[in-house]
Structures are given as C-alpha cells and as structure tokens.
Chains A and B, each alone.
Chain A
Amino acid sequence: MNRPEGPNSFPRADRAAVNPSYRLYHPKWYRERYPIFWWLERFAYGKFITRELTSLAVGYAAVLLMFEIWVLSEGQQAYTRFQELLVSPPVLIFHGVGLLFLLFHSVTWLNLAPKALVVHLGRKRIPDAAVLFGHYAAWLVATALVVWYLVGR
C-alpha cells in the first residue's frame, strides 16, 4: 500500500509500535497517589484493618498458652510465680484488652466463613446461615469443653 507523503502520514498504530511510550489519543494520564490513610476513608476499610490487626491478639494468646505449658514443666515454684504475674493489675488490664481484640477477630472471622465455604448435602447446597451456625456451634462446644474441664475436674 502506498502511503501519502508528509510528517503525519505514518499510521498512528505504527507510530505506537515504533515508540512504545506513545499511547494513542492519551498524551498524559493522571495517576492518583493512593493515600497512606486509605483505611480511614470508609468504615468497612477501618473494620478490615482492625480485623487484621487483632489477629495479633490471637497469636499472642497461642504463644502465652505455650509459654505457660513450658513454665509448668519448669516446676511448681516457677509456675506459682508466673500465676502471680498473670493476676497483677497491669497484666490483667493488658489481657482484658487482648481478650476484646481476640473476640472481635474471632467474631468477624467466623462471620466470613460462609463466603469461603460452599457445603453440599447430596445435590443440595447448605444455606450460608447454616454454615455460619455450624461454626458458632463448634466454637461454643469447644468453649464448653474447656470450661467443663477447668471447672468440673
């Protein structure tokens, strides 16, 4: 095909191929910088960040339990000292706040379970509410077992 003469005679698509930085019809985009405090822009974003951060409380509770078992293996005296530390007011306040974080994380995490789990019974799909109820029921049963062991032994 013969091209007409002149500086702008080169087809635009070909110009883009020759110079990758040239974008058809769009000389200059505006790219918005995402703000550092993006998680304050919507309530849901703040709730998400809180859910993620409170997972630290879950990790802390697990580490504390393992540490307590290790202290137990160190003998009665060490364990008594550790228990005295646990009931001191600053530690009680710290653990009280930690418990609130842990509960917030647990509830928000369990509430998301039906989004991730699709359970079928035969050819029928179990409703999301039933999946959610199953999770809370399992949590309650596990808690009841621990309470029964601690109180009833």
Chain B
Amino acid sequence: MADSITLQIQRYRPEEEDEPVWQSFEVPRRDEWMVLDGLNYIKDNLDGSLSYRWACRMGVCGSCGMVVNGEPVLTCATYLSELGPGPVRIEPLKGFPVVRDLVGDIQDFIDKLASVKPWIIRDEEQPLSEGEYLQTPEELAEYKQHSMCINCMLCYSACPIYALEPDFIGPAAIALAQRYNLDSRDQGAAQRMEVLSQHEGIWCCTFVGECSVVCPKNVDPAAAIQRYKVKATAEWFKSLLMPWSKR
C-alpha cells in the first residue's frame, strides 16, 4: 500500500476567487487515519489557511460533514484507507452557500430547525412536586430513533429537493419535529403541524430516500416524513368529516 494519498480539496477564498478551484495535497496514508486526520495534517503542516469545521472527532457533534468522493459523510468517521488509492475529492456539503473552502453557511438549517419547535411543549407544566414525566420503554421506542439526530446536515446535502426548492424545511428538521410529536410527554403536535403541513413542509418531499441512506445515525428522516404525510392526511380527513372536532 502506498504511504501517501492525494486529497483534492475544493478551495474557495472569496478574496481571491469568484468560484471554487481544486487544490491537491499529498498526505500520509495511515490505516488508522480518517479523512479528517488528513485535513488536519494539511492544516498543521501544508497550508494553515484551509478552512473546515470539526469539533469532537468521534461522530457525535455533527460538525465535520463534507462530500467525499461524491458521498456526504462525516469525515471523522470515514477511513482514508477505505477510499481506494486516491485521489480523494473533498467538497463542502451540497445545498448550502459556501463561505470559505469547506465551510458552508448553515443558517438556513438553523432557522428551519427552530421553526418546527424542536422541544417539548406542554399545555400546562405539572408542578415539580409531582415529579418527572414518566415514560414506558414502548413510549421511548416510538421516538428514540429520530432523537439520535446530530444535526450534521448530511441529509440536506443528499436531498436534491432541498437544493432545488430552497424553502423546503428539509429532512433533519422534520425528523426532529417528529421526534417531539411522537414523544408521549409532548403536547405541541398541533403547533408543529401548522409548519409541517405546508407545501414547504412535508409535501415538498418526493421521497427520493437518500437522506436516510446517508444518515450516520440511522435516524431515517425519509420514514419520518412519509409517516407524517399519512398522519397529516388522516387529520385532514378527520377535519373534513368532523369539522367540530379539535385537532
């Protein structure tokens, strides 16, 4: 096995270029190195101006998502040695404006995430003296899968609809909305439905399904969206047949 590998990195330095260019770097190829280790090697030894995000280096923080050889992945969880002899092409996540090099502007996602109120909403909080809101293991299992989301935005990068329809709320935000809708302690489903049942919500999704394929935490946002479509349709029929009933 060769003792070095070429990383082709998309560079965008707004003060120098009008559009991104490719730059190649030779980095050591070590069995235990992730793609992120290669980037850190460049930053530390070859070009300190290379910009990218990372934090935890263990697949938890969701900061280091990039497109590697065309696939959206967490660079801290992708072995360099598994990417063949190279060169390895590294780009920023698709669908987001590029601020610099491999750094995208994620404000749109942050705003959309906040719009679906991803927190437990109660009509009335019970007094502390009554203790915790208890849940059975079955109730926990209903939403646990969706609660594993680490906001890495790989699903946005894999979703062509998000790139084509920028108003689409997107996979992770909808999955996280479902995470709270399915939580037995939550009473905010009606509030979220006002946002999710819009065209820009679930109905923009045409079920390409790649969001679930690339998700590193098996959150399955595609399933969350389709299940919410079934629920929203049932609610619509209910409101049509029984207009006097409360949502």
List residues 144-160 of chain B with CB under 8 A from any CB of chain A.
160
Cβ–Cβ < 8 Å partners of B117 in chain A: none
Determine, out of A38-46, A87-95, A138-146, the stretch whose residues face the partner at the interface: A38-46
Q: Are the C-beta atoms of B227 and A45 separated by less than 8 Å?
A: no
A30 touches B19 (CB 8 A): yes
* Chain B residues closer than 8 Å to A26, beta-carbon distance: 14, 99, 105
Closest 4 CB pairs of A and B: A116-B226, A29-B97, A28-B14, A30-B98
Which residue on chain A has the smallest CB distance to residue B136? A123
Interface residues of A in 3-56 (CB under 8 A from B): 26-32, 34, 38-39, 41-42, 44-45, 48, 52
Bound Cα distance from A32 to B141, whole angstroms? 40
**Extra contacts besides A29-B99, A30-B12, A115-B223 (10): CB < 8 Å:** A27-B14, A27-B15, A29-B98, A30-B14, A32-B98, A34-B163, A38-B164, A48-B206, A115-B212, A116-B229
Residue in A closest to B98 when the chains form the complex, CB atoms? A30
Tell me if B186 is interfacial: C-beta within 8 Å of chain A. no
Q: Does B85 sit at the interface, judged by CB under 8 A? A: no
Q: How far is the CB of A127 from chain B (nearest CB, A)?
A: 13
From A29, A44, A118, A125, contact of B105 by CB (8 A): A29
- Distance of A30 Cα from B18 Cα, bound (Å): 8
A125 to B143, CA, bound (A): 13
Partner of A45 from the list B14, B210, B230 (CB cut-off 8 Å) is: B210
Highest count of chain B CB atoms <10 Å: which of A28, A30, A32, A38 = A30
Bound Cα distance A27, B100 (Å): 10
Q: Please encode chain B, from 79 to 104, with 1 for each CB lying within 8 Å of some chain A CB and 0 for all others.
A: 00000000000000010011100000
Chain B residues near A85 (CB-CB < 8 A)? none
| CB within 8 Å of A: which B182-222 residues | 206-210, 212-213, 220, 222
Shortest distance in angstroms between B134's beta carbon and chain A's nearest beta carbon? Answer: 16
* Residue pair A48, B208 in contact (C-beta under 8 Å): yes
**Is A72 an interface position by the 8 A CB rule?**
no
Interface string of B1-35 (1 = CB under 8 A from A): 00000000000101100011000000000000000
A118 touching B70 by the CB < 8 A rule?
A: no
A55 to chain B, nearest CB (A): 11
B230–A116 touching, CB < 8 Å: yes
The reply to whether A112 and B209 contact each other, CB–CB distance below 8 Å, is yes
**Number of B residues whose C-beta is below 8 Å from A?**
30
A63: CB under 8 A from chain B? no
CA–CA, A111 and B141, complex, Å: 23
**In the complex, A118 Cα to B206 Cα: how many Å?**
19
A62 on interface, CB distance cutoff 8 Å: no
Cβ 8 A contact of B230, one of A29, A32, A52, A117: A117
Residues B163 and A38 in contact, CB atoms below 8 Å apart: yes
Chain A contacts of B160 at CB under 8 A?
Answer: 34, 38-39, 45
Q: Is B125 an interface residue (CB 8 A)?
A: no
Q: How far is the CB of B49 from chain A (nearest CB, A)?
A: 15
Question: B138 in the interface, Cβ–Cβ < 8 Å?
Answer: yes
A17 to chain B, nearest CB (A): 16
Tell me the bound Cα distance from A29 to B101 in angstroms: 11
- List the A residue with the shortest CB-CB distance to B210: A44
CA gap between A9 and B226 in the complex, in Å: 52
Q: Which residues of B contact A27 (CB under 8 A)?
A: 14-15
| CB within 8 Å for A44 and B14 given contacts A29-B99, A29-B105, A115-B222 | no
Alpha-carbon separation in the docked complex, A115 to B227 (Å) = 7
